[in-house]
Amino acid sequence: MKKEFICENITSNGDGHLCLGGQDVVTLAEKYGTPLYLMDEDRIRERINTFKGAVHNCLGDNGIIAYASKAASFKEMYRIMKSENVFIDVVSGGEIYTAANAGFPLEKALFHSNNKTDDDIAFAMDNGVGFFVVDNEEELFVIEREAGKRNITQKILLRITPGIDSHTFEAVSTGKVDSKFGSAIETGQAKAITKTALSRKNIALSGYHCHIGSQIFDTDVFCKAVRIMADFIADISNTIGYTPEILDMGGGFGVRYLPSEPIVDINKFISVIGENIKKVFKDLDIKLPTIIFEPGRSIVADAGMTVYTVGTVKKVPDFVNYVSVDGGMTDNVRYAMYKANYTLLVANKIDEICDMPASVVGRCCESGDIIQENVTVPASVKRGDIVACLTTGAYNYSMASNYNRIPRPPVVILNKGGSRIAVRRETFSDICSLDE
Ligand SMILES: *Cc1c(COP(=O)(O)O)cnc(C)c1O
Residue among 334, 430, 351, 431 at smallest CA distance from 389: 334
User: What total of structural domains would you count in the chain?
Assistant: 2
Q: Could you tell me the CATH number of the domain that includes residue 79?
A: 3.20.20.10
Rounded to the nearest whole angstrom, what is the distance from the C-alpha of residue 217 to the centroid of ligand 1? 14
Specify the ligand 1 atom closest to the Cα of 295: 9
Give residue 161's domain range. Answer: 42-298
Residues 101, 180, single domain; the answer is: yes
Residue 89 CB–ligand 1 contact under 6 Å: yes
Look at residue 3 and tell me if it is in a domain. no
Specify the ligand 1 atom closest to the Cα of 159: 13
Residue 296 CB–ligand 1 contact under 6 Å: yes
Q: Higher confidence at residue 218 or residue 181?
A: 218
Integer Cα distance of 25 and 31 in angstroms: 10
**58-64 contacts: CB < 8 A, separation 24 or more?**
58/270, 58/271, 58/274, 58/275, 58/278, 59/274, 59/277, 59/278, 59/291, 62/288, 62/289, 62/290, 62/291, 63/274, 63/290, 63/291, 63/292, 63/293, 64/290, 64/291, 64/292, 64/293
Residue 298 CB–ligand 1 contact under 6 Å: yes
Residues 35, 46, single domain; the answer is: no
**Digit-coded pLDDT (tens) for 291-307:** 999 999 999 999 999 99
Look at residue 328 and tell me if it is in a domain. yes
C-alpha distances (whole Å) from 210 to each of 107, 150, 155, 170, 246 are 20, 28, 17, 17, 11
Among the residue ranges 17-21, 127-131, 162-166, the one predicted with the least confidence is: 162-166
Q: Is the peptide bond before 35 cis (omega within 30 degrees of 0)?
A: yes
Mutate to test the pocket of ligand 1, among 168, 181, 214, 398 (most ligand atoms within 8 A of CB): 214
Residue 252 CB–ligand 1 contact under 6 Å: yes
Q: Could you tell me the CATH number of the domain that includes residue 369?
A: 2.40.37.10
**Digit-coded pLDDT (tens) for 264-276:** 999 999 999 999 9
In the prediction, which pLDDT does 178 show? Answer: 72
pLDDT confidence band for 1 (50 / 70 / 90):
low
Rounded to the nearest whole angstrom, what is the distance from the C-alpha of residue 36 to the centroid of ligand 1? 25
What region, left, alpha or beta, does residue 242 occupy, with left being phi > 0 and alpha being psi -120 to 50 degrees?
beta
Burial of 149 (0-12, 13-18, 19+ CB in 10 A): exposed
Residues 53, 189, single domain; the answer is: yes
Amino acid at 322: Y
Evaluate if residue 53 carries a pLDDT over 80: yes
Evaluate if residue 169 carries a pLDDT over 50: no
Look at residue 2 and tell me if it is in a domain. no
Rounded to the nearest whole angstrom, what is the distance from the C-alpha of residue 277 to the centroid of ligand 1? 20
Which of 270, 298, 326 is a domain's end point? Answer: 298
Amino acid at 23: Q
Integer Cα distance of 133 and 136 in angstroms: 9
Mutate to test the pocket of ligand 1, among 48, 112, 292 (most ligand atoms within 8 A of CB): 112
Residues 20, 68, single domain; the answer is: no
Look at residue 107 and tell me if it is in a domain. yes
In the prediction, which pLDDT does 166 show? Answer: 60
Specify the ligand 1 atom closest to the Cα of 216: 7
Integer Cα distance of 42 and 39 in angstroms: 9
Rounded to the nearest whole angstrom, what is the distance from the C-alpha of residue 66 to the centroid of ligand 1? 10
In the prediction, which pLDDT does 181 show? Answer: 86
pLDDT confidence band for 3 (50 / 70 / 90):
confident
Are 100 and 127 spatial neighbours (Cβ–Cβ below 8 Å)? yes
**192-197 contacts: CB < 8 A, separation 24 or more?**
192/137, 193/134, 193/136, 193/137, 193/140, 193/158, 194/158, 194/236, 194/240, 194/242, 195/240, 196/137, 196/140, 197/134, 197/140, 197/156, 197/158
Look at residue 388 and tell me if it is in a domain. yes
Integer Cα distance of 26 and 43 in angstroms: 20
Look at residue 207 and tell me if it is in a domain. yes
Integer Cα distance of 417 and 310 in angstroms: 26
In the prediction, which pLDDT does 179 show? Answer: 76
In the prediction, which pLDDT does 173 show? Answer: 57
Percent of the chain with pLDDT over 90: 94
- Which residue's alpha carbon is nearest to atom 3 within ligand 1? 251
Burial of 239 (0-12, 13-18, 19+ CB in 10 A): exposed
Give the distance from CA 221 to its chain's centroid: 19
Mean pLDDT, all residues of the chain = 96
Mutate to test the pocket of ligand 1, among 294, 392, 398 (most ligand atoms within 8 A of CB): 294
Which of 279, 298, 317 is a domain's end point? Answer: 298
Look at residue 4 and tell me if it is in a domain. no
Are 334 and 340 spatial neighbours (Cβ–Cβ below 8 Å)? yes
SS3 category, 185: coil
Mean pLDDT, to the nearest integer, of 418-426? 98
**Digit-coded pLDDT (tens) for 342-400:** 999 999 999 999 999 999 999 999 999 999 999 999 999 999 999 999 999 999 999 99
Residues 306, 392, single domain; the answer is: yes
Are 185 and 160 spatial neighbours (Cβ–Cβ below 8 Å)? yes
Residues 356, 315, single domain; the answer is: yes
Residues 150, 26, single domain; the answer is: no
Per-residue DSSP letters for 85-137?
T-EEEE-SHHHHHHHHHTT--GGGEEE--S---HHHHHHHHHTT-SEEEE-SH
Rounded to the nearest whole angstrom, what is the distance from the C-alpha of residue 148 to the centroid of ligand 1? 30
Look at residue 5 and tell me if it is in a domain. no
Residue 69 CB–ligand 1 contact under 6 Å: no
Evaluate if residue 436 carries a pLDDT over 50: yes
Which of 298, 333, 367 is a domain's end point? Answer: 298
Residue 251 CB–ligand 1 contact under 6 Å: yes
Amino acid at 415: N
In the prediction, which pLDDT does 180 show? Answer: 79
Residue 334 CB–ligand 1 contact under 6 Å: no
Specify the ligand 1 atom closest to the Cα of 214: 7
Mutate to test the pocket of ligand 1, among 44, 67, 89, 210 (most ligand atoms within 8 A of CB): 89
Per-residue buried b or exposed e for 189-208, using 16+ beta carbons within 10 Å of the residue's own CB: bbbebbebbeebebbbbbbb
Integer Cα distance of 397 and 410 in angstroms: 9
Integer Cα distance of 312 and 329 in angstroms: 17
Residues 202, 315, single domain; the answer is: no
Residues 364, 412, single domain; the answer is: yes
Helix (H) or strand (E) holding 361: strand 354-361
Specify the ligand 1 atom closest to the Cα of 133: 13
Instruction: Report, as residue numbers or ranges, the catalytic residues.
Output: 365
Residue 297 CB–ligand 1 contact under 6 Å: yes
Mean pLDDT, to the nearest integer, of 188-199? 97
Residues 174, 80, single domain; the answer is: yes
In the prediction, which pLDDT does 163 show? Answer: 87
In the prediction, which pLDDT does 371 show? Answer: 98
Residues 159, 72, single domain; the answer is: yes
Residues 289, 332, single domain; the answer is: no
